[in-house]
Amino acid sequence: MYDIKLLEYLENFISEERKQRFLKILEERTKYLTVAIEDVFQLHNTSAVVRTCESFGVQEAHVIEGRFGKRLDKNIAMGAQQWVDVHRYHRTSDCIAALKNEGYRIIATTPNNDVCWLNDFQIEGKTALFFGTEREGLSKEVMNGSDGFLKIPMTGFTKSLNISVSAAIMLQTLTTKLRKTNLPWPLTETEKLEKRLDWTKKSIKSIDTILDRYYRS
């Protein structure tokens, strides 16, 4: 929950330019499309995908870390983890269940199988794109639990791309498509206010002292 009075108070500690920047960016943010990254080994790949989510306005990312532990590097993510909501899971099943409970279609990205080409893919509801490990791809659990499969068309000898490259291509294509539809892709007004408060807090160096002063007054 957000506290509008607290938000108004804290916005006195940031510049008007930053405040307006938040407002502008939030108008393009979406949770309608999200990304799930399953047990990616290379630390930089997970971090790069989160950075890509932030760049294309995808507000949430889901990271499954059961096999290799924590997979985010703040230096590679370039601060993107401050602006994107990262949800972490130990088990793939927990991630799938959480997303399906929120009404998402599970779409497995894969260079194999008889799949839908990216240019032909139509977003028909809340969509979660799953990306797998660099060598093995997605687990059978994801493949069996998916509602569809998605593939980037390629014409060279190499039939696979680095996960971060795949995510960038797919998110750029699909967010562009999504914003041209009449689907309810923007954040709700409540979600926008919640993120304004969150981002404003993260923008103030002495936030703990300022919050203490606010709650004591």
d(CA 51, CA 58): 10
Highest mean pLDDT among 67-81, 99-113, 171-185: 171-185
Which pLDDT does position 78 carry in this prediction? 46
Contact yes or no for 59/27 (Cβ under 8 A): no
Residue 70 banded pLDDT, cuts 50, 70, 90:
low
pLDDT tens for each residue of 4-17: 999 999 999 999 99
- Which of 14-18, 24-28, 40-44, 71-75 comes out lowest in average pLDDT? 71-75
**What backbone phi and psi angles, to 5 degrees, belong to 19?**
-60, -45
- Whether the predicted pLDDT of 112 surpasses 70: yes
pLDDT tens, residue by residue, 43-67: 678 888 999 999 999 999 999 986 5
Report the candidate in 39, 68, 46, 40 with the shortest Cα–Cα distance to residue 164.
46
User: What are the tens digits of pLDDT across the range 126-176?
Assistant: 999 999 876 778 999 999 999 999 999 988 887 778 888 999 999 999 999
pTM for the model stands at 0.90
* Nearest-angstrom CA–CA distance, 29 and 40: 25
Structural domains of the chain in order of their starting residue, each with its CATH number = 1-27+188-217 (no CATH), 31-185 (3.40.1280.10)
Q: Which residues pair with 60 in a beta bridge?
A: 85
Average pLDDT, the chain: 90
